[in-house]
Every structure is written in C-alpha cells, then in structure tokens.
Structure 1
C-alpha cells in the first residue's frame, strides 16, 4: 500500500506554469531559427522548478533538440569546479561523439579541464593570467560550433550551489554567446539567495543584460493546489482537504505532495510539527530501517553517490543493499541517476533534512568511511572528482592528518583546471588545518608538489618541507587570478608581517620580494597607486643576492613598469638588465618577455629597425614555443609601435593576426588590448566604421578597464570628428572612469588631454583650449607619445586660427602661439606622417597670425599624400583651397581640392569638415559635384545673400559691437540695426551673435569675395 501511495505522490497532471512553459518553448523556437537564448528560472525550494524543466525538456526532445543536463552539487562549495558544465558536456559527448570531437579539435588539452574524456590536460602556465578567460572562450566556441547545425538545450540546475568558477563561466557564456542554435537555461533556489550569497552579484549582473530572460515561479493558488491534489489522488478532493493542504503548504508544490502522502499513509496530523524539517523527515522515518540507513549514508556522500562507493560505505550484502535502495526509490525518497550508476535524493530539501538530523559523531564517522573507501579504491568515482571529494570527506571526518595533504592535492587539481576561486577556498581550508595537523605530516609535504606560485630558491626541493608561507603565496596568487584582489592583498599583507617578525637567521628576503612584487600588481589593479614603491622595495630586498628566478621576475616587472610609465633611457637600461638576468637564470619564457619590453623601448628611443626586429623575433619564437600569452603581448606591442611610426596598415594587419591568435586560444584580455590598438590604426586609415565596431565590441565584451577606456576614448575622438560633442563629452567622462587617477600612464593621460582640448576647440572655448595646452606642455610629451601630442597641438593651433579677430580671444593670443611654436620645435617627428602633422600645425599657426601662404599648405597636402591619413589630408586640402581662393584665381584647382575633401568628409561622416567645405564652395560659387561652370562672383556679391549694408553690420557684430553701437556708427536707428542682425543670423543659419562672428572669421566673409583673375 505504501508503494502505491508513494508512487502517486507526484501528480501525473502538469499543473499551472502555462506562461512559464510558453516562454521556454518560445525560446526554443527562436533558437531553432539561429538566435541563441538564455533564461534564468528561479523560485523557492519545492515550488516546481524541476517539474517545469522536465516538461520543457520533454517538449525539446520531441522537437528534435539535443538536451544536455548539468546540476550543481553542494560539494562544489568545497572546490569541485565546473561540475554542471562537465556533466552537460559529458552528456553531449555520449550523444554526439564525432561532432564534439570535431568542435574541440586542436584545443583538446585545454577543454579537457572541463571534460577529461577529451584527453590529457594541456600544460599549466602559472604565469598566465588569462588562462581562465581562455578556457571560458574555448568553451563558448565549442558550444557555438556544436549548435551550428543542430539545436542544443543546455540546462544547468541548482545555481545556488554553484562554485565560483561555474558562476564565472556562466556569466561569460551569457555575455558572449552570439550565434548558434542554443538555449541555455539555469535554475536556482531563490529562497537560498540571502544578502551575502555569492550568486546574488551574478544575478544582479545578469539582470542588466537584455539578452537574458528571468522566469520567477510563484507558489500555487488554491485552485492549482486543488488540481494537483486531483492528479495525485486520481479523484476530486473534497473542499476541506483542499483547504487543509493549501493552508499548511502555502501553495508549495513539494509540500503539497508530502502532506498528502503523510495523510494517506495514516500519519496523524498531530504527529507532524509545524517545522519544515519534521515534515520532510516523516516519510524517511516511515521507511524500513535498512532503507533509512542507506538514506543517511547517501545524504552525507554528496548530491549524487555512485553505487559502488555506496556499497563500500554501507557494508551491506548486495541483496540487502538492493532491497534498501528499492524501498527508498519506491517511496520517492531516492532516485536513480539517469546518466550514471548512482543515486540521489529526489528533492534536495529532504537530503538537507536527513543530513542535518545526523548526530555529530555519526556524520564524521560516515565521512571517514567514505574517505577510507575512496582511498582503498580510487576508481569508485570519476578521476576529475576524486581529489576534491576525498579532501571533502577527510575534512568533514575531522581528521587533520589525512585532510591536510588531501586538501592540498585537491588544490593542485583545481589549479590545473584554472579554477582559481576553488583553489583559493581549498588553500584557506589547508591554512585552517595547518596547526591541527601533526608536525610529521607537515614535514612530509614538499613545496615542489604543492607550491607553484613561489618557486623554491636556494634550497633542496627534495628535503625542504612545505611552509605556511608557501600556502600564503599560493593563496595570494590564486586570489589575484580569480579576481579577489582584496583577499590577495590581505593575504600578502599577512605574509609580509610574518616575514618581518622572523629572526634574522630565518629571514627570507627573496620571498618578501616576491610578495612585494605581487603587491605592486594588486595596488595598481585596484587603483590604489601606480605600484612603483612596491617594486622598488622588492628590488632593494634582492640586491646583492645570488641569481634567482624571483630576482629575474622582479627585473622583468620593473622594466615593464618603466615601459608603460616612464619610457626613456633609464627604462631602456632596466630592460637590458632584465634580458641579461633572465638568460643567466635560463628562463626563456621570462627572457622573451624582457626582450619584448626591450624592443618596444628601443623603438621609442629611435632605434626603430633593431627594436622592430627584436619584437618580431619574440613574436615568432613565442609562437613556436606555444607561449600564447606572450605571443599575444607581442602582437599588442607591435601594433602599438607600428602606429607610433605611422605604419598604420601594417599595424592593422598585425592586430588582425593577434585577434585571430587570442580568439583561437581564448585570450579575451589580450584580445581587448589588440582590438583597442587596431581601432586606433583604423581611425588613422579612415576606416571609421570598422574602428567603431571594434570599440563597441570592447565596451560590451572587454574585461580590463584600460583597453575599454582606450576604446571609449577612440569613440570620443570619432564623435568630435563627426560633430557630436555631447557624445564626445560623455565618452570622455567614461574613459576617465576606466583609467582612474591612481596609476597615470602617458599612453592614456596624453590622449585624454588631447580629446578634452579638441572638445573645447570644437565648442569654441578658446580660453579653455589655452589652459589645457599649458597643462599638457607642463607635463611634457614622453617618448612614444608624439602620436597623441601632434593631434593635440594641431587642435590647439587650429582653434587659435579660427579665433583670429574675435575680441574675446585677443587676450593671451601671443603667449599661446609662442607656447605652441615651442612645443612644435620640441616634439619628435620619427616618421613621415608626423612630419606632415608638424607642417600642418605650423601652417595653422601661420593662419592664426593672419598669414595664408599657399606654399605652406601645398607642402602639407603633398606630405599627407605620401602617408595613409585621409582625414587630415582632407582638412589640408580644404585649407589649401581656401588659400588659393584668397590669392585670387586658380578656381579650378581650388574646386578640385574641395571636391576631394568633400568626398572624404561625406564618406567618413565628418559633418564639421563637410559643412566647412560646402560653405567655402558656396561662398566662392564652386560646384562640389561637377567641374566648375558657375560664373565668377562679381564685386560685392555674397554667397549667403548678404546685402552690402548687412555686410557692414556683420563686420561690427564680429567686432563685438552692441545694436546701439552699430546704430551710432552706421547712422541708423537701433531698431533698424536689430532687424539687420536678425536677418544676418537667419541667412547664415546660426543661432547667436558669437556664432555669426566665428563663422564670418572662419569663412572670411568680412574680406573681399575671392574672384578669378
């Protein structure tokens, strides 16, 4: 009778959830059409999430989709990384073996960190900060390839138990999934998400993504409970029963089932307390004693327990174990796992209640038996779970002697899988166990087996025991790599205090220097400082010590810091020392890093060919050695210095190679830097739409603040050129936020000033332009920043030229022009493109002083025609045409120049330049579409239709006169003067007197109209 009742506890009728199921099936239909879908399903425990997913999965299978299920397990909190993804990929591997193998081809070693069945895990690079991002990128690409020709439904359940690596991978998947016929559904228990729950920030982040749909399941209404009861009882329930069950369950579907079963099995209502735990335990306590015992064993073994492991721990005869399991499964307490050989609780709430009901001694004894069984036969669980589960069992068995080495072994395994968050949690557990473990156990541990972040120096790795400081070093390193910089900083501070407290005989300056170097990276990443003080401290600590890998690392980091912050002779010498030292310690990876820095600095110092040769050699060697991170860095630095040299097309091509490399190997951080560099070179080449796409990609998918800031700054420059000053100002503010103020680097500070000055110039704020120019000149232009310095000087010189004749600009003009000429003489011109910029800036300074020599503008145009800079070439052609018309004659030559400039302005969407060209052409009566055939303007004619009297009024408006002053000077009434001013504003298409004056000066409307000869 019990069996019959229990198997009816789940209603055969799917109750409610019609809207939610429709949302899921609609997403499936969109995925069939090639539009990836992402959904989050939340609700309290027992509300019906699993039943909804089951119905959706059935519908998806009927519709021809391939479904892969993966569930988070509670053991994930102790360091089992990527559990749901591994399970789901394993399911796809069984169903689509050939397709998955083809999709993973070439990256099996990396993807094996998620799916060990793909082969041996690839080499682990402890110095590679992008390892996790690479694994994430490769996983997304694997899923996209699998979903290219078939619909994949990926279901990840119980996110409230997800480990940090799973959460990060899921967030990455949701952010970057762009193509493929795939639906990703993730479920979580909403009532478990307390204020400090680690899933809470992820949910907040995902809420901001428009591509994700949230489905929240509410409790059943009374009518829905009645329908559920009808399905369970196979009969219409009476109203009293519905009221009782609804009141006691509060509409929770699982509680409805439990209450019905307890009532139908004869349990008196009074025997059940109001506590949830008692309600959940009542059915377990109705099982035979052996079945209850099996339930207790399974509850402590994890979310799923393999049959062979269960048999080893239970120590029943096989027949007795099968009978006990049959009773528990028949009562719907346990379920057989569909895709494996194990058992789990049908509902996690029951498992939690059974586990909580264990006696303290009983719990530790069960964990010990699990650990002993697993040590006796490691094949009882999958290899990728073995180390973590063994560590968990020994820890909960309260056996420090066995737990410490087991936890450390598990930390090594998670490190190899790039699951640094789980590694950190395990290392913190190891530190907790350190003092509890016997001394002989600690002395038997070796740093070569467990410590990777800090290499053993000056000691015999075979005999030197692992130290507590080794654990701190590993924890600090893991914390930085998983983004927990504050925890890393705190751990490093603790280590440095311990080192400072040691006796003189026990001091370890190398280790202290290592921690100071780590601290430098942390304070820089956190925006606390530029990190140099920490590097200097590390250098002081290693001074005079024998050669070591730590010393070499410090020199490489110091040289890299100098390259970014203070490029010059001192940094060049530091890079040379770093190269020599890395060769001395025979570390080729660090040597290549130091050589790349050296080559970059050589180019900045003027030794261009030698520097570039070194950089290309590093690129090729790192490719050959498979050092993908350093190879990506070579592409970043190469594209940067090539743009510095004006070789923009070569820079774009190198960057394109770098994008392919970083995409193929999942180096998302490096891809951000490469794309930022490529976008700048595309702007130079006039590929503005391509540059905008690159920058927008970075804004959406970039992971580092500085490349995102660089992209935002490029978008600000683009907005200025297109006349969108409001957009430019907002982009500039966003870029400043990305860059921060604590770690200034010339490659960011100088272009930020250039953009700010250009905005002020475009807005006609000449005094702001002068103030910004003065500030930039005081800061100077360090080596390598000429490519930002020349546009800044050009914008300032153009602003001075455009303001010529404006009364408000008179004060300070001479000083500003003198400062500009000094800056022009002092700024480097290491390539033809910068020679062209120098000539352009000097020509604008001549214009600012009232001179328009045709020869100067002709030289500027000729210089730009030799390099790939279409936009500044168009600006120079416009100025040359203006100078030709001012001289009188040469109308056909001027018209041809204006047509060329106009075509570029239209193609690029450079509205200010387009407007200036069209206004000049209109004033000179030149056609921009056909060879000039318009009659030459006669004396007194004006393209804007201004009468001679209006031209006189405009001249006085430009001089700053009021209407009354104009009236007095022209012997007309103030009212008549006001009418003339209004007519002038309308004809010129401007909104105010200041704008009219600026336009008059810019187009020289107050001078005689240009005529032919």
Structure 2
C-alpha cells in the first residue's frame, strides 16, 4: 500500500489516430511537383509504409484542383478498368452533368447506370485493339469534360492490364496544361512483365517527374508517431527501442501494435511518459499478420519454404544454413532467397546473410507453420548450426529443445549456461537450465547437477524477484522430489534454494532448507560456512539467539581455514551483520576490520552488500552516525558498479535513517518511489510500506496508517520475518492506545513480545516494549508492565545500543506516571528525551517532552508545563507530525493555554473530495475493470488499489463497486476532466 497523499500519474491510454509525422519533406515534394503540371509522381514503398496516408494528406489540403482517385483492390482476378470506373462514379455521382460527344457512347458498357444520359451506343468494331483505343479516347474525353486535373491510382501493383494500358494512354496524351498522374505501388510486388514498369521507366519529355520512395520511420519518427496516438505525451526510450526494433519503423505495424497493446491494458503513464508493462514480446497484430501471409502466399513453394526456414532460424543466416534448414539445395535456395528479397520480405547484409526485414513478419510466418512441421524445421536448423565454429550453443539449445532432441538439447543448454554466466548474463543461464529441467526427463545425477548450476546462476542475477525467480524456486523444489538423489546432491540444491528464499522473503522456509543442506556440505567448506552464516541470521525461526550464535561460531571455525581472501571477507562481513542482528557487542570489533573498497567488481559489490547490512544493524542499535557512514560506503560502491538493486537497498535504509533522525522533507515521495521500485521484492517492499505508514500516522491519517501497518504485520508474519513484525505491532498498539483501547493494544503485542523473549534479542524491542508497557498499564496490569521493563533492562546489559536504552528510559518513566509519582515521572521523561536527542531521534524526544510537560502540570507546575507543551506543539508542527501537533494543541486548550499560530502552507488536502489517485481507480471501476486489472494498469499493488477503492467508497458513502460507479457518474466526479 502506498501513501494516498502522494499523487500518482497512472492513467489508462486513450488511443487516437496517429498524426502525420516523419513525412513532411515527401509531402512538400509531392505538392511542389503537382504545382507544375503536367506531372507524373510515383510513390513507392512496402505494405504499411504510409503511401496512402501521404496521398490523403495531400488530398485533404485546400485546393481548387479536381482529383480523380482510384484504388486497385487486391482481387485474385482484377476487374477490367474496375478502379477507373469506380473513381469516375465517385466524382461524377449518379449522372455526369457534362456535354459529351457521340464518342461517349462507347462508355455505356462500363456505366450502365448512366445509359439514359449517355449518347447512343456505337457500332461494334471487329478489331479488339481499335475498340480498346476508342474506349480509352472516350474515357479521356470524360476526364477532360469533368475537368479532372490530377488522376491518382493507388496500389497499382494490383491493377489489371487494361487499367495500366489506360494510364499509359493518358500519359502519352499529356499537354503543357494537361492532366497530372500520381501512382502508388509496392515495387516488390510488380512482376517483371508488368506494364507498370513502362509507367515508371518511360516518361515523356517536358513533364515534371518525381519518384518518392518511402522508407521506414527512424527511431525519433517512431516515438513521435506513437506519442501522437497517446495524447501527445512522450514514450520512454526503452519502449521506443522495443517498438522500433520489432516493427522496423513501418507505420502500419506501429499503429496496430500500439492498439493491440492498449486493448491488452499493457501500457501505463508513469513519471511523465508512456511505458510498456512488459517489454519482452510483441504480438503480431491481425492486420500485419494477414498482410504478411497474403504476400508470402503469392510466392513460389521454394520461396515459401525458405521463409519458413528463415523464420525458424530467427537471426541473420548465410545461404548454406538456410538451405539446410529448408531442405533445399544451395542453388534452389539462392533463387528462392532472391525471389523473397525481391518481394521485400527478406533483407541481406554485406556478408551474404539473410533475415526477415521485420520481426513481426517473421513471427507471422513462424506462427503459420503447422506444429508438426516446426519440430522438423528446428531439427534441421540445429543440425545446420552445429557446423559453425564456435557453435552458437544457446541457439542450438533452443532449436534442439523445440525439436525435442533431449540429449543434444541438454548438452548445449549446459554449455550455453556456462558461457552466459561467464559473460554475466545469469538470467539467460537460468532460462536455459530451467527449461531443460522443466521439459525433459534426465537421469537423476544429471538432473541434480543441472539444478545446482541453475540455483547458483539464479543467485548471480541482479534482477528483482520476478517470474524467473519463481520458476527457479518451483523447479528446484521439484528436482528435490526426484527419486534416487544422494544426500550430497540434495544438499547442493538446498543450499542455493535456501539463499534464494531469503531473497524472496520466505525466511522460515529458507532456514529449513539451509539446515538440511549443512549436514551434507562437508566436501565444500566455503559453502558450508556460508550456509551456517545464513543460519546465524536471527530474522526467522523459533531458535533462541544462542542457537544462531552457535551456527555463527561454527562458520567462523571453517572460515579460518579458507585460503581465499575474498571468501573470508564475504563470510566475515556476513558474520558481522548477523552478530549485529543478535545484539552482540562483539559485532563492532568485526565491523572495525571491514574494508571500504575492493579490487574487482565482484569484491566491490560484496563490500557494498556487507556495508548496507551493517548499516541496517546500526539502525537497529540506534547508532545513527555509524549507520550513515556504512550506508555512504555502500552507496558509493553500488553507484560505481551501477548495481541498481543494491542502490534500492541502500536508499531504503537511508530513508529509514532520515525518518529516525527527523529529516522528513521529501520522505513521502521517497517512500512511494521505493515501494514502486521494490514491488517485486517482498521484504524491501514491506519496508517501504512501513515507512509510508509511519508518515501517515504522524500526519494524522489514522485509517491509512492502520491499514498499512496491518499489511506489514500480516505479510511479515506470513513470510516468517519475525523481526519485521515488531515495529508494525508496536505502531498498531500506539494507534489503539490513542483510542483508549488498552486491551486491544496488549493483544496485538502478545506474539511479537513472545518472539523477542524466546529469541532473547532485546535490541529489536525499541518500539515494542514501551508500547507494550503502556498497553499493560492502560489495561491495569502494572505488575506485568514492571516485570517486562526489568526483562528489557536485563536484555540490554553490556550493550552500547542507544535506541533501546532510550526506550528503556521511557518505560521507567511510564511506570512512574502510572504510579502517580509525577515528580519522578517528569525527571524520567526528561532523561528519556535527552537520550533520544543524543542519537538524534527528535520525534521520540518530542513525545517524551510532551509526557514530561503533562507530568509537570499534574505536579502543579502549570506554567513551565504549559510552556514546555507549547514548545513541543511548535516543534512537532515544524517537523511534519501534524497529527501529534493537533493532539498537543488540544491538550493546551484543555489546560487553558493559548495555541501558537503557525503557518499551515504546503500541500493541499482533499478532505471529502477524491484525490487524483482515487479518481484514477474510480474511473477504471466505472470502465468495468477488476481490481487486478486496475493494479496492472496503474502499476500499483492490489492492496493499494483496494485501499484507494475503499477510500473512494467511504467518501462517496457507498458500499459496493456498482453503487460506486453509479454515484461517481451521477456526482460528476469526472466533469472537470471531461471538460478539459
């Protein structure tokens, strides 16, 4: 859940017809030529390139000239003079209101609907050529009688021969002030014997001549065209590259692809630009698919076979490879390639390699191959590629996979994974190996080996928790159920599986896998020590701190015997962070010996990870200067190595540090950005939500804070992250204590306090114990409150943990307050406030001062008490804790004191009106979208959508989605938007 006070610009795309972009120079040339009649203009280009759009733009401009536009339909058997006849009917209407000579009687067979107005039919001629010539003269007379100045013939490659002969006739009769002709066509679809070649090669002298060859859009043109379809807003560079690469910049393919993505709710407006939610694949729009298949269907069987082979290969390939894949001889293949290239389907390079001109066309052809034939094509492709040196192992794995040749597939998949990992592409390695494990039946020993490599490869990925991660987890668990695996093989799989589960936030499951693995990793001391170190982390499991400590000590014994300095550093750093989590003072001695840099990229990333973990531990202890120092080291290294995921980790901890130390400016926006960036990593995502919940609570947005803290508590408990449940439970207890519900506050802290007692890690209890003590006192159980305070004190002995010790001072002050000892209570709250301020942790210091002021007033020292209370009001207000400030203001009034007048500028609130983010959600509800669809469109978590939906229902006073939609429309909540 994100803080609803933070605006989000998520929006649903409204798709419009694209603007005319990228063809201004061609349009100017067309206009210039036609301004100098007579002119012959040839517009050529492949299907969908924009020939018709160019002509429409010219025709749409204000012009006194009369244009006759004829379009040749893609009929198998073209109708004689059909395009010309249809064009005349469109211009002249039902009856030509012009004077014609007797020659026009020859037009009766073509225009039976004009028979009553045309001159009598002429006697038939025995000579067919003479009859055709007479008909052409009659049509030419009709053109001149209608004062047609420009004759346009679109898609001339589909024209019948007689229509082309008529054009030749018209062009040959052009005079100085005569008719201009514009012809558009696809050059790749013009047969060698077509009369169209005469139109394009034998132009009369004295005539303005222009040939316009339309090329695909450049990337900037692609971006402009797509942007014009999406309200004129920019599209991301990544989205631009993705679309341009797959469509080749062909305008029709671009337009249809954008419409298809919008129909699938695959676009979202984020950070001021349109982005695609998943940039992996692009479906072939039906228009592009049908156009491609229609074009391919007109080619010879050999050319079609070559295209199916090229689509299967899916990369630039030499003639020999295509020939073997197609099952053709090299000579036949070369001729077929030439035919396909002449049709504009294939494109060659200077090394004699060929591929489809556009990815979408290749996909359309591949999808048309019958499934039974695909396996054969892939088998031939694999055999053809095996001859290359070095062999393209990833491509070979793909082809033999599709061919279901298991043995070859397995061999090349492992080789491909090894190369991918060596080059740093761990995701590619994972894909190859998980596919192999998912779709083949390998011998147990091979299956175990491949699974171990897949797990190790997955640990090297820098991507967040995504579908690839979940596939690996499912696959490794499935492999563990394979009969016949040895204990060692199982351990080598469980070890990476456990570490992956930690990344995914499944703490309890992770410890279970690692504990089972350790018993059988004696052959690999480094991995055994690493697994033991992870078992030493105290974030999960029922074990007490002593058990975690024993695992860390066992790991330290193994580490001492390891030769590799890099491995020793990794293990020592992880040990330091684990000891901090346990609240062990010894941790700081280990931390003092940590380096601040590394010699290689791997070492620098390792050092950065260690320092961010140490920074997290320092935050728990309340050693904020140490935390800032270690996080700065981590950020410097993460930025130098461009480790985006690690940078997010550091930013989250830096935001937590800013929260504790009172640097709240911009923190709300930071928490929203972090939640969006870490959405696929549960533990970090919940950390961002916890930060947002803190801000909502201090701002007085009680309902939002409660829902967000509940989410953190429930999800942390589900994931087995015991330490993450503590603060959320304490925060909920404080909210309910403010309502006077002490018993409820006791109940919510029962389980977390038992976790702290059971594990014996009291440095976790900074927020929890004071909330629990206050709840017990409110419920009337002072004895339990005192006992808990004593336990807290014993648990902190010998530890330089400033934050928990400040919390202990608060607990003692609360006990004095409950006992009615106002003098000692005031002094104790003063000590607590000074302890908080020393950290510094100003918000908690202000709350302690507030309680001190109340004690002074109760003691009869009203003047100093009211003065101190007024000071806290002003400080809380300026810090940004407006909810707390309002509470203090109310107490000042109750004590008869004047509330200081402070400026309440800044961000506007929405009150009972829907916020922009709530309007987004309601608009999609009105459109009939489900919560899951809304979540996807707006790039928000389902919990966030649900929260905003319920907030909108509350504001509009309805209890169902249907009622909300009706009320929203009736209330005109989108009126302003529509007006704009």
- TM-score of the pair, normalised by structure 2: 0.58
- Secondary structure of 1:343 counterpart: strand
- Does residue 514 (structure 1) correspond to residue 498 (structure 2)? The answer is no
Aligned to 2:82: none
- CA separation of 1:435/1:798 partners in 2, compared to 1, >3 Å: closer, same or farther? closer
- Report the Cα distance in structure 2 between the residues aligned to 1:617 and 1:693, rounded to whole angstroms: 36
- Report the Cα distance in structure 2 between the residues aligned to 1:683 and 1:17, rounded to whole angstroms: 62
Which of 48, 51, 57 is 1:13 aligned to? 51
Q: Which moved more, 1:567-576 or 1:855-864?
A: 855-864
- CA separation of 1:723/1:816 partners in 2, compared to 1, >3 Å: closer, same or farther? farther
- Does residue 334 (structure 1) correspond to residue 338 (structure 2)? The answer is no
Aligned to 2:484: 501
CA shift for structure 1 position 566: 4.6
Which of 154, 161, 170 is 2:241 aligned to? 154
CA shift for structure 1 position 872: 2.4
- Does residue 906 (structure 1) correspond to residue 852 (structure 2)? The answer is no
CA shift for structure 1 position 581: 1.0
Aligned to 2:728: 752
- Report the Cα distance in structure 2 between the residues aligned to 1:670 and 1:565, rounded to whole angstroms: 29
Which of 402, 416, 423 is 1:410 aligned to? 416
- Secondary structure of 2:243 counterpart: strand
CA shift for structure 1 position 709: 1.3
- Given that 1:7 and 1:332 are in contact with CA atoms closer than 8 Å, whether structure 2 keeps it comes out as no
- Secondary structure of 1:156 counterpart: helix
- CA separation of 1:493/1:662 partners in 2, compared to 1, >3 Å: closer, same or farther? same
CA shift for structure 1 position 349: 6.1
Which of 796, 809, 817 is 1:839 aligned to? 809
- Does residue 533 (structure 1) correspond to residue 512 (structure 2)? The answer is yes
Aligned to 1:370: 384
- Given that 2:893 and 2:899 are in contact with CA atoms closer than 8 Å, whether structure 1 keeps it comes out as no
CA shift for structure 1 position 904: 1.4
Aligned to 1:631: 607
CA shift for structure 1 position 323: 5.9
What does residue range 405-804 of structure 1 map to in structure 2 within 5 Å?
Answer: 405-417=411-423, 419-420=425-426, 422-427=428-433, 467-478=446-457, 483-484=467-468, 487-493=471-477, 495-498=479-482, 501=484, 508-521=486-499, 525=504, 527=506, 529-542=508-521, 545=522, 548-560=525-537, 566=543, 568-603=545-580, 608=585, 610-620=586-596, 622=598, 626-702=602-678, 703-745=680-722, 747-781=723-757, 786=762, 788-798=764-774
- Report the Cα distance in structure 2 between the residues aligned to 1:763 and 1:923, rounded to whole angstroms: 18
- Report the Cα distance in structure 2 between the residues aligned to 1:404 and 1:655, rounded to whole angstroms: 44
Aligned to 1:852: 822
What does residue range 274-313 of structure 1 map to in structure 2 within 5 Å?
Answer: 281-285=296-300, 294-295=306-307, 297-306=309-318
CA shift for structure 1 position 729: 0.8
- CA separation of 1:323/1:644 partners in 2, compared to 1, >3 Å: closer, same or farther? closer
Aligned to 1:978: none
- Given that 2:576 and 2:591 are in contact with CA atoms closer than 8 Å, whether structure 1 keeps it comes out as yes
- Does residue 897 (structure 1) correspond to residue 839 (structure 2)? The answer is no
- Given that 1:281 and 1:350 are in contact with CA atoms closer than 8 Å, whether structure 2 keeps it comes out as no
- CA separation of 1:572/1:393 partners in 2, compared to 1, >3 Å: closer, same or farther? closer
Aligned to 1:389: 395
CA shift for structure 1 position 763: 1.9
- Given that 1:635 and 1:674 are in contact with CA atoms closer than 8 Å, whether structure 2 keeps it comes out as no
Q: Any unmatched runs of 5+ in structure 2?
A: 1-41, 58-212, 227-234, 278-284, 902-980
Q: Which moved more, 1:631-640 or 1:388-397?
A: 388-397
Q: Which moved more, 1:509-518 or 1:297-306?
A: 297-306
- Report the Cα distance in structure 2 between the residues aligned to 1:17 and 1:879, rounded to whole angstroms: 79
- Given that 1:754 and 1:788 are in contact with CA atoms closer than 8 Å, whether structure 2 keeps it comes out as no
Q: Any unmatched runs of 5+ in structure 1?
A: 20-53, 68-142, 162-184, 194-198, 217-250, 259-276, 379-384, 437-441, 443-464, 503-507, 804-808, 931-1013
- Given that 1:619 and 1:634 are in contact with CA atoms closer than 8 Å, whether structure 2 keeps it comes out as no
CA shift for structure 1 position 315: 12
- CA separation of 1:767/1:623 partners in 2, compared to 1, >3 Å: closer, same or farther? farther
What does residue range 139-288 of structure 1 map to in structure 2 within 5 Å?
Answer: 153-156=240-243, 213=274, 253=287, 281-285=296-300
Aligned to 1:874: 846
- Report the Cα distance in structure 1 between the residues aligned to 2:329 and 2:43, rounded to whole angstroms: 28
- Secondary structure of 2:355 counterpart: strand
- CA separation of 1:517/1:357 partners in 2, compared to 1, >3 Å: closer, same or farther? closer
- Given that 2:699 and 2:882 are in contact with CA atoms closer than 8 Å, whether structure 1 keeps it comes out as yes
Root-mean-square deviation (CA, aligned residues, Å) is 5.2
- Report the Cα distance in structure 2 between the residues aligned to 1:792 and 1:726, rounded to whole angstroms: 21
- Report the Cα distance in structure 1 between the residues aligned to 2:890 and 2:644, rounded to whole angstroms: 47
- Given that 1:874 and 1:905 are in contact with CA atoms closer than 8 Å, whether structure 2 keeps it comes out as yes
- Report the Cα distance in structure 1 between the residues aligned to 2:286 and 2:478, rounded to whole angstroms: 48
- Given that 1:861 and 1:877 are in contact with CA atoms closer than 8 Å, whether structure 2 keeps it comes out as yes
- Secondary structure of 1:58 counterpart: coil
- Secondary structure of 2:614 counterpart: helix
1:906-943 superposed Cα distances (whole Å, 9 cap, x missing partner): 1122234323443454455556659xxxxxxxxxxxxx
CA shift for structure 1 position 344: 1.6
- CA separation of 1:342/1:574 partners in 2, compared to 1, >3 Å: closer, same or farther? same
- CA separation of 1:305/1:902 partners in 2, compared to 1, >3 Å: closer, same or farther? same
1:956-1004 superposed Cα distances (whole Å, 9 cap, x missing partner): xxxxxxxxxxxxxxxxxxxxxxxxxxxxxxxxxxxxxxxxxxxxxxxxx
- Given that 2:319 and 2:354 are in contact with CA atoms closer than 8 Å, whether structure 1 keeps it comes out as yes
- CA separation of 1:762/1:213 partners in 2, compared to 1, >3 Å: closer, same or farther? same
Aligned to 2:217: 58
Q: Which moved more, 1:853-862 or 1:508-517?
A: 853-862
- Secondary structure of 2:217 counterpart: helix
1:606-657 superposed Cα distances (whole Å, 9 cap, x missing partner): 653x522422433436577742443233222221222233222431343243
- Secondary structure of 1:620 counterpart: coil
- Secondary structure of 2:299 counterpart: helix
CA shift for structure 1 position 333: 3.6
- Report the Cα distance in structure 2 between the residues aligned to 1:417 and 1:188, rounded to whole angstroms: 37
1:514-567 superposed Cα distances (whole Å, 9 cap, x missing partner): 22334444666484943433333323335xx55644433432332346788756
CA shift for structure 1 position 736: 3.0
- CA separation of 1:728/1:671 partners in 2, compared to 1, >3 Å: closer, same or farther? same
1:120-145 superposed Cα distances (whole Å, 9 cap, x missing partner): xxxxxxxxxxxxxxxxxxxxxxx99x
- Report the Cα distance in structure 1 between the residues aligned to 2:819 and 2:375, rounded to whole angstroms: 93
- Given that 2:870 and 2:892 are in contact with CA atoms closer than 8 Å, whether structure 1 keeps it comes out as no
- CA separation of 1:852/1:56 partners in 2, compared to 1, >3 Å: closer, same or farther? farther
- CA separation of 1:782/1:883 partners in 2, compared to 1, >3 Å: closer, same or farther? same
Aligned to 2:24: none
- CA separation of 1:730/1:66 partners in 2, compared to 1, >3 Å: closer, same or farther? same
Aligned to 1:235: none
- Report the Cα distance in structure 1 between the residues aligned to 2:725 and 2:514, rounded to whole angstroms: 22
- Given that 2:289 and 2:364 are in contact with CA atoms closer than 8 Å, whether structure 1 keeps it comes out as no
- Given that 1:553 and 1:590 are in contact with CA atoms closer than 8 Å, whether structure 2 keeps it comes out as no
- Given that 1:562 and 1:571 are in contact with CA atoms closer than 8 Å, whether structure 2 keeps it comes out as no
- Report the Cα distance in structure 2 between the residues aligned to 1:689 and 1:418, rounded to whole angstroms: 39
- Report the Cα distance in structure 1 between the residues aligned to 2:687 and 2:46, rounded to whole angstroms: 63
1:751-779 superposed Cα distances (whole Å, 9 cap, x missing partner): 12212211211222122123345554444
